Amino acid sequence: MRIFREAYEHDAIVFPGVGAFKPVIRKLQENRDHISKLLEEKPILGICLGMQLLYERSEEGCPPGEYLHGLGVFRGDVRRFPANVKIPQMGWNTLRIIRRGCPLLSGVPDGAYVYYANSYAPGLSDDAVAVTEYGVKFTAVAQRGMIFGTQFHPEKSGRWGLKIIENFIKLVEGEKGR
């Protein structure tokens, strides 16, 4: 497909945070060979849904107790928020950094406020770098190698979101020089 051929020409890939899990993952899985190669070769930033696609499984769009398989970069499942909280989570919430040294969060303080718009969120796993709480504690930022995910929208998160985007661009520029 043309879009995947063009993706190889770019220095990094951003999976945006728009859409629904089921149709997007189906399209990605139809092109698994291309996606696998991109995941191995390019720095990637998944935002909101884009981050969720990078997990092993999601219950979005499934009957209770069933899941769709994701790309499996990050370990764990993406689940709907509990019934006792307003869905979607829409607005500002804090980041609690639980693993120091993630280059995406360089210069971002613990407790920084970022902007969320989500009804589903990934659970906690070894890939978690920062967490947030909204009815349950969930992964807000994940990292595995040069693949990163933010459950929030950095492009809507003011100063700290811009810092995260700047950090990703610097990472990509650093990778180009290798």
- Provide the 10 A C-beta neighbour count for residue 176: 10
Residues recognised as catalytic: 48, 153, 155
Distance between CA atoms of residues 115 and 152, nearest Å: 6
Q: From the centroid of its chain, how far is CA 110?
A: 19
